[in-house]
A and B are shown apart, each in its own frame.
Chain A
Amino acid sequence: MTSGQRKAHKYIWLLLLIIVPVIMLFSIKDLDLFSSGTNTASQLSGSKKMSLKTSENDIIKVAVFESHVEIILKTTLKNSSSVVYEMDKKGNKSNVIGQLTTAGIYNFNINNLPKGIIIYDAIKQVEITKFSL
Chain B
Amino acid sequence: MGLDYQLVLWNKHKKTYDKIIVASMLLYIILFATITLIFNSETSIETLVIRAFGSLAIIMLHVILIIGPLARLNTNVLPILYNRRHLGVSMFIAALIHGGFSMFQFHALGDVNPIYSLFTSNMEYGSLTNFPFQVLGFFALLILFFMASTSHDFFLGNLSAKVWKRLHMMVYFAYALIIAHVFLGAFQQETSLFTIGILVIGFITVASLHLITAFKERKIDRTKTIKKEGWLVVCNISEIEEDRAKIFTVENERVAIFKYDGKLSAIHNVCKHQGGPLGEGKIIDGCITCPWHGYQYLPSNGQSPAPFTEKVSTYELKLEGETVYINPKAFKEGTEVKPCKF
Contact = CB atoms under 8 A, between A and B. Distances in A.
A9 interface: yes
A5 B193 contact: no
Given A3-B253, A9-B214, 17 more contacts: A5-B169, A10-B214, A10-B218, A17-B207, A19-B176, A20-B179, A20-B207, A23-B179, A23-B180, A24-B179, A32-B191, A78-B40, A79-B42, A80-B47, A123-B44, A123-B46, A124-B42
In the A-B complex, the 3 residue pairs with the smallest Cβ-Cβ separation, listed nearest first, are A10-B214, A27-B183, A13-B210
B193 A1 contact: no
B169 A12 contact: yes
Interface in A80-97: 80
Contacts, number: 97
A3 B275 CA distance: 10
Given A8-B169, A20-B207, A33 B191 contact: yes
Contacts of B188: 27, 31, 102
Contacts of B276: 1
Chain B, interface SS category: helix
Interface in A8-38: 8-10, 12-14, 16-17, 19-21, 23-24, 26-28, 30-35, 37
A10 to B, nearest CB: 4
B218 A80 contact: no
Interface in B170-216: 172, 175-176, 179-180, 183-184, 187-191, 193, 196, 200, 203, 207, 210-211, 214-215
B183 A24 contact: yes
A76 B192 CA distance: 13
Interface of B: 40, 42-44, 46-47, 105, 128-129, 165, 169, 172, 175-176, 179-180, 183-184, 187-191, 193, 196, 200, 203, 207, 210-211, 214-215, 217-218, 221, 252-254, 270, 275-277
Interface string A83-117: 00000000000000000011000000000000000
A123 B129 CA distance: 26
A5 B275 CA distance: 9
A2 interface: yes
Nearest to B173: A12
A124 B253 CA distance: 63
16 contacts: A1-B276, A6-B214, A10-B217, A12-B172, A13-B210, A16-B207, A19-B176, A23-B184, A27-B180, A27-B187, A30-B129, A31-B191, A33-B196, A76-B189, A80-B46, A80-B105
B211 A10 contact: yes
A23 B184 CA distance: 9
A5 B252 CA distance: 13
Contacts of B196: 28, 33
A34 B128 contact: no
A25 B4 CA distance: 50
A76 to B, nearest CB: 7
Contacts of A9: 169, 210, 214
Contacts of A10: 211, 214-215, 217-218
Nearest to A126: B42
Contacts of B254: 3
A27 B44 CA distance: 27
Interface of A: 1-3, 5-6, 8-10, 12-14, 16-17, 19-21, 23-24, 26-28, 30-35, 37, 76, 78-80, 101-102, 121, 123-124
Contacts of A78: 40, 42-43
A20 B203 contact: yes
B290 to A, nearest CB: 12
A119 to B, nearest CB: 13
Given A8-B169, A9-B210, A16 B217 contact: no
A14 B208 CA distance: 10
Contacts of A17: 207, 211
Contact of A33 (B44, B193, B253): B193
A1 B179 CA distance: 26
Contact of A5 (B165, B191, B200, B253): B165
Nearest to A25: B183
Nearest to B215: A10
